[in-house]
Structures are given as structure tokens and as C-alpha cells.
Amino acid sequence: MDRSDVATSDTSNAAGHNPTGHPNPGLPPYTRGIHSDMYRSKLWTMRQYAGFSTAIDTNERFRTLLENGQTGLSVAFDLPTQLGLDSDHPHSLGEVGRVGVPIDTIDDMKLLFKSIDMSNISTSMTINAPATSILAMYVAAAEESGVDRSDLKGTVQNDILKEYIARGLYIYPPEQSMRLTTDLMQWCMNNAPSWNTISISGYHMREAGCTAVEEVSLTLSNALQYVSSAIDSGLEIDSFAPRMSFFFSSHNDFLEEVSKFRAARMLWHDLVNERFDPSNPRSTQLRFHTQTAGVTLTAQQPLNNTVRVAYQALSAVFGGTQSLHTNSFDEAIGLPTEEAATIALRTQQIIAEETGVPFSVDPLAGSYLVEEMTANIASEARKKIEEIDAKGGALNCVKAGVQQQMIHESAWNNLNSIESGDTGVVGVNIHNDDAEVYDSGLKIDSENTERCIKRLQAHKECRDESKVESTLGRLRESCIEGINVMEPLIDAAKAGATIGEMNAVMRDVFGTWVSPSGV
């Protein structure tokens, strides 16, 4: 079938509307997509998440993925880096390079992007508490490689609220963390206009156990808090909202997930218009990255995960995602092997090149079930957002453990459903007669930590300590006086200061905090 002429008109009438009651794609409230042509003119960005062992090893994986057709990079950092700790910190023991790449210095960042044109590639960095220092390291590495900061393209997650709610990788108290979030947003507005300054994540809350409706409501509630905080810091809504992005999970219930994405777009448009009255239509557009649901992957019969991931990826495409990561089938066993990562990428490429789905802008528009589910998810999510508002908003509710308790209850209900057999999981509680044992997963060299520490020590021995101390002193003054920390952090990175040293200064000034569990 020749679908070259199939566009938005397949369900539209002459007035520019269609029987679904929603305007065409590219028109408010963007239920059907934020672009009129969607993937007919440009495919989603295939952005596979990668990071492990060392910067050198991760760089090799990056270049392999790019050679295989990946169109954007997504960096996974190890736990010490995500907590603003160097590889030689006592608390880093046993975690260096295990679930991501360790980045201690500007030299590590340069190695991570060796032979990769940082002005040409879009880079997503999943980093939150130390987002300012990691972005500063990235900018410093780019500038010392001859790339101007204004040419950088990508996203830094910079979403600290969901760390308090669901993930636990936070450092500073909420108010100080929100200050750093807006510092980064302000700096990018003036220096890196093509950089997405925040990616508000529902993914990690869904992984922790919340439902599809809760994923939408908690994500958008957090986003409203970020917008309010940015405006309170002196920013205009239209100066930063067009560079905000979102990050969702794509779970198992295919049609619910498609409807969830459509509902989130519609609801965000309505909420921003109602509360902030922007002049730029792009301020109300919800642009999002999707990752298939890691929590659904099973160690039992792991090859089944390839099928799960394919359907989850397809629902994200049906839902109109702007970029996509597909999980590897062996991730329930260990870090993905190169073969598994390639199959995950090929899954996206098959959807793009062989299914014909990208030819239609909103393929499921007009489906009675999808339209009803879209409306219901938007309505129920709005109610939960209003409940959070009534309790003082997302930030105050985080301090009280409101969102945390909501997720715990949903996770408990889901676990009971699986254990009782009401929810079937193939290979686990149904069709589990296959005794297959899959011995795979990437093995991390046990001597990796020692190599990273030696590299860090060598770096410290070669730097000018007086310059390091001077730049860290300026950072301390900026933290105390309320001056934007980004330029001091960039200077510190160029002087040779480490991620741990930068965050030690901020930890000393700002203090730390423990989020309530919600239990």
C-alpha cells in the first residue's frame, strides 16, 4: 500500500478537525502530537542509554552504537558520580563503574567523547543532584575541544524532585536543590539555547511502582513546581518552558500506554495555559523521551524480554515520542552485552523501517477505546494534581512523603497481584515450565576501581593546586551569596577540580537532607 499521501487528513474534516474531537497533530492541545507531520518528516531520535566500567570503555560502546545507526547519545553515570562522589571516596567502594560510567574529572569527560563531535551529536545525561557540576564538566570539555557552548545540543535530567520521591539519589535539601535547578536553567537560557535544561521524569516513579495515571499526575505536578520555582527566581515562562522536556516509561498495557502519552500532552497544554498564560505556543508543548520498562524485564526466560521491549517501543511510537531507548533483553541479569544492545537498537530500526507505522501521524486516532482511555487518564491525573496542590504543591508534599506513600501503595498492590496470579508474567508465574538458564550479562573487571583511582590520583598530581583552590573558593562564595553557580563550576572544571571536590563545597554550604520514605 502506498501511504505517501496519508497524513493528518485520514480522519479529518474540512474544518481541520476530526471525528475524535481533537484538532489535528501540531495544533493545541497537541493530543495527537506536537508536529503536523510527526515521523513522516523526521523519525524519533534513537537514543540508547549506555555507560559502564570506564570512560574509555563507554566511549567504545558509544561509537559502536553510532556506527550501527543510533542518532543520539544517552549517558548512564555510576552511583558515586550521581551522588557527587569521586571514585576514591570510601562510600564509592564497590560501585565504581558498576551501573554507569565514572566521571571524576574533565579528562574523563574528554575521554568519554573522544572522536565524537560534540557540536554535532545530541547528548542526554541522566544526572540530577550534581547536574550543575556534570553539565559544567561537559561544557568545559567541549570548549577545550574547540566547541562553543552555544553549539551544544542535548538534555540534562536535572529533576531532583523525583529523586526524593522514588530514586533516592539526592544530596542537598529541597530548597537548595531547587535553587541549583533554576541556576542551570538560567545559565542555559543565556549560554546554551539549544540545550534542554530539565527532563521531568515519570519513568523512575513508574519503575518504583506507580500506575499510569499516577505517572502522569506526579510528573506534571513536579513540572508545575519547577515552572513556579523558575518564575519565582525571575525567569519568564516563555524564556525556559520551550526547552523543558519530559521522560516517561512505556509499560506493558499497550493501549493504556498509547493513551497515557496522548493524555499527558493534552493535560500539560491545558495546565500551563491555565496557570501561567504563556505567549509562545511552544511553552505548552510536552516533548518527551521514552524508555521501555526495565521493571518488566525478567531473568527467567530472558529472550522473552525482546518481545516485551518491541511492544513497549511500538506503543511509545504510536504515542508520539520524540526520542526512544529500548532496553536490552539481558538487563535483568547484568549490564547489557554489545550483542544485546545492538538487538535493542535494531528493534527501533525495524519499527521505523519495516512496520509502516511512521507513515501515519496518529495511527490510533478515532479508536473508541483509545479516545475514552485518553480522556479518562487526563481526567484522573488532573484530580490527583489538584489533590497535591491542595496539600501545598509538589515540593511540600515531597517533604511530607505524600507521593512516596502513593507509590508504595501502588507497588504493593501490583506485587500482590503478581504473587496471587491475578497478573500474569510469562516465564515467572505462567508458562514457566522452561528450565532455561541464561548465563550472560556484561562482566565488569574487578580491577576497574583501582584503575580509576590511579587515574584520578595522577590527575591531581599534575594540576595547579592554587588554581583549583581559587576556583573552588569562588564557587563557595557563589553558593553563599546566591550567585549563579554555573560559571564558577565551569572554571573549577577547567582548573582540574573533581566532581567530588565541587560537590563537597556545595554540600558544606547547603547541607544534606533525608527524604521521608512514605511508609
Q: Tell me the mean pLDDT in the region 453-479.
A: 97
- CA atoms of 55 and 72, how far apart (whole Å): 17
Rounded mean pLDDT of 429-445?
Answer: 74
The reported pLDDT for the residue numbered 441 is 66
* Amino acid occupying residue 516: P
Residue 13 pLDDT greater than 50, yes or no: no
C-alpha–C-alpha distance, residues 251 and 67, integer Å:
29
295 pLDDT more than 60: yes
Beta-sheet pairing, 122-126 with 72-76: parallel
Region 324-332 average pLDDT: 94
- What is residue 72's predicted lDDT score, i.e. its pLDDT? 87
pLDDT at 1: 45
Displacement of CA 20 from its chain's centroid (Å): 31
pLDDT of residue 9 exceeding 80, the answer is no
pLDDT in tens, 33-77: 999 999 999 999 998 888 888 999 999 999 999 999 888 899 999
CA dihedral 179, 180, 183, 187 (to 10 degrees): -170
Local structure of 78: helix, strand or coil: coil
The average pLDDT across 145-160 equals: 96
Q: Which residue has the higher pLDDT, 404 or 9?
A: 404
153-164 average pLDDT score: 96
Task: Quote the cell numbers at residue 152.
Answer: 551544544
Percentage of residues in the chain having pLDDT higher than 70: 93
> Lowest-pLDDT range, 64-78, 132-146, 236-250, 413-427?
64-78
pLDDT > 90: percent of the chain: 86
4-32: average pLDDT: 64
Q: Write the CA distances from 498 to 133, 441, 464, 467, 468, integer angstroms.
A: 9, 31, 13, 13, 9
Q: How confident is the model at residue 18 (pLDDT cuts 50, 70, 90)?
A: low
Q: What pLDDT sits at residue 433?
A: 82
For the stretch 65-118, pLDDT in tens is 999 988 889 999 999 999 999 999 999 999 999 889 999 999 999 999 999 999
Cβ–Cβ under 8 Å, residues 132 and 180: yes
Name the DSSP letter for residue 71.
-
Note the pLDDT tens digit of each residue in 345-371.
Answer: 999 999 999 999 999 999 999 999 999
Confidence of residue 308 (pLDDT cuts 50, 70, 90): very high
* 9-18, 138-147, 249-258, 482-491: segment of lowest average pLDDT: 9-18
Q: What is the CATH number of domain 8-420?
A: 3.20.20.240
Share the mean pLDDT of the chain: 93
* Confidence bin at 440 (pLDDT 50/70/90): low
Residue 393 main-chain phi, psi, to 5 deg: 95, 175
Q: In whole angstroms, how far apart are CA 61 and each of 106, 116, 279?
A: 20, 12, 43
Which pLDDT value is given to residue 45? 92
As a whole number of angstroms, the distance between CA 262 and CA 21 comes to: 13
Cα separation, 409 vs 210, whole angstroms: 8
For residue 514, the model assigns a pLDDT of 93
